[in-house]
Amino acid sequence: MQQTHRVAVIGLGLIGGSMAIDLKRRGFASEIIGVEADPVNAAAALKIGLADRMVPYDECVREADVIILAVPVGTVLKMLPDILDRIGECAGIENPGRTGGNQGAGVIRKVVLDVCSVKECLVRSVHCHPMRKCYVPTHPMAGTEYSGPWAAMPGLFDGRACIICDSGESDSHSLRVAEALYSALNMRLIYMNASGHDVHAAYVSHISHITSFALALTVLEKEKDEKHIFDLASGGFSSTVRLAKSNADMWVPIFSRNRDNVLRVMDTYMEKMKEFRAAIAEGNEDNIRSLIEDANRIKRIIR
């Protein structure tokens, strides 16, 4: 029988809210305890039914046994050590004298996980924390270009990949809970170290957002008449520019925290653009063709 959990979700936006929906309806969570700093989002989350009740941040660790940090990475960086401190305090109260480590499976039952798109800065920030083993760094790779509690939807994670980082640094209980949680979300689990994660995330996710933002900026600058964009935007343009609707609160800290990897991918990308530009400028159809046919190899990989 599946074990049920009291799950605190800090940040009931697209990701946190969608997790809340499926964890509750699929029986992983007996209760969803919401934490939401923004009063409008908090009211919406309750009204939509993403959480059973809302509690102040200070109370969520005490009330829940699984804590999901679904806020931007800059906020997670500040919260995570504090959450681990509080887990330590709870463990200390329940098991006096045993706060220093996490020996004895079954002693500390609280687990915290984050869902950020950047991982290395997070694992570094709590590397020496005595409760580090209660933390599982995860990245469920799903989303849409929308944000806020009203963007939350059932089934968002079904069939997508979830990366679990540095799994050897979490204790077996925490890891098992995280794995059960993502299994309830129907995700494919992939294990990777945090620095490898950040490299791959830059290639297959962060750069797509930057190219989309740059495309939107280009078209908005060039097409002063928005009606033209509206009239002429084909399905191709819409899908390529879709990510440019993404939320700054989420993406600013991602680019900033994964700076070196993102810059490296951007440099390669700009090299490719320059090759394309040169081929077009020279009217070299053979070179244009060979670039396109090289790019077409993506067909074999992406449906």
* Residue of 21, 143, 182, 187 interacting with its own copies (CB under 8 A): 143
Interacting positions 232-251 with its own copies (CB under 8 A):
232-246, 248, 251
CB-based contact 35:56 (threshold 8 Å): yes
Identify the helix (H) or strand (E) that includes residue 188. strand 188-192
Cβ proximity to its own copies: between 105 and 232 the closer is 232
Would you count residue 205 as binding its own copies (CB under 8 A)? Answer: yes
Three-state secondary-structure class, residue 217: helix
| Sole window of 79-87, 95-103, 175-183, 208-216 interacting with its own copies (rule: CB under 8 A) | 208-216
Cβ proximity to its own copies: between 54 and 250 the closer is 250
Cβ proximity to its own copies: between 106 and 299 the closer is 299
Would you count residue 158 as binding its own copies (CB under 8 A)? Answer: no
Task: Please report how close the Cβ of residue 263 comes to its own copies at its closest, in angstroms.
Answer: 6
Interacting positions 21-50 with its own copies (CB under 8 A):
none
Would you count residue 153 as binding its own copies (CB under 8 A)? Answer: no
Would you count residue 124 as binding its own copies (CB under 8 A)? Answer: no
Identify the helix (H) or strand (E) that includes residue 66. strand 66-69
Three-state secondary-structure class, residue 189: strand
**Distance from C-alpha of 196 to C-alpha of 157, rounded to nearest angstrom:** 22
Helix axes 14-25 and 172-184, enclosed angle (nearest 10):
90
Task: Please report how close the Cβ of residue 1 comes to its own copies at its closest, in angstroms.
Answer: 31
State the number of CA atoms in the 13 A half-sphere of 287 facing the CB.
Answer: 13
Task: Please report how close the Cβ of residue 63 comes to its own copies at its closest, in angstroms.
Answer: 32
* Residue of 62, 190, 193, 195 interacting with its own copies (CB under 8 A): 190
Q: Please, what's the largest Cα pairwise distance for the chain? A: 76
Q: At residue 80, what is the residue type?
A: L
Interacting positions 262-301 with its own copies (CB under 8 A):
262-263, 265-270, 272-274, 276-277, 280-281, 283, 285, 288-289, 291-301
Task: Please report how close the Cβ of residue 118 comes to its own copies at its closest, in angstroms.
Answer: 13
* Residue of 8, 142, 164, 184 interacting with its own copies (CB under 8 A): 142
Q: Which residue has the tokens 């129907």?
A: 186
**Distance from C-alpha of 205 to C-alpha of 203, rounded to nearest angstrom:** 6
**Distance from C-alpha of 113 to C-alpha of 94, rounded to nearest angstrom:** 21
Task: Please report how close the Cβ of residue 235 comes to its own copies at its closest, in angstroms.
Answer: 7
Binding mask 51-80 for its own copies (x = CB under 8 A): ------------------------------
Task: Please report how close the Cβ of residue 232 comes to its own copies at its closest, in angstroms.
Answer: 5
Would you count residue 224 as binding its own copies (CB under 8 A)? Answer: no
Could you tell me which of 113, 153, 114 has the C-alpha nearest to residue 17?
Answer: 153
Check residue 31 and give left, alpha or beta (phi > 0: left; psi -120 to 50: alpha). beta
How far from 84 is each of 10, 78, 87, 134, CA to CA, in Å? 14, 11, 5, 8
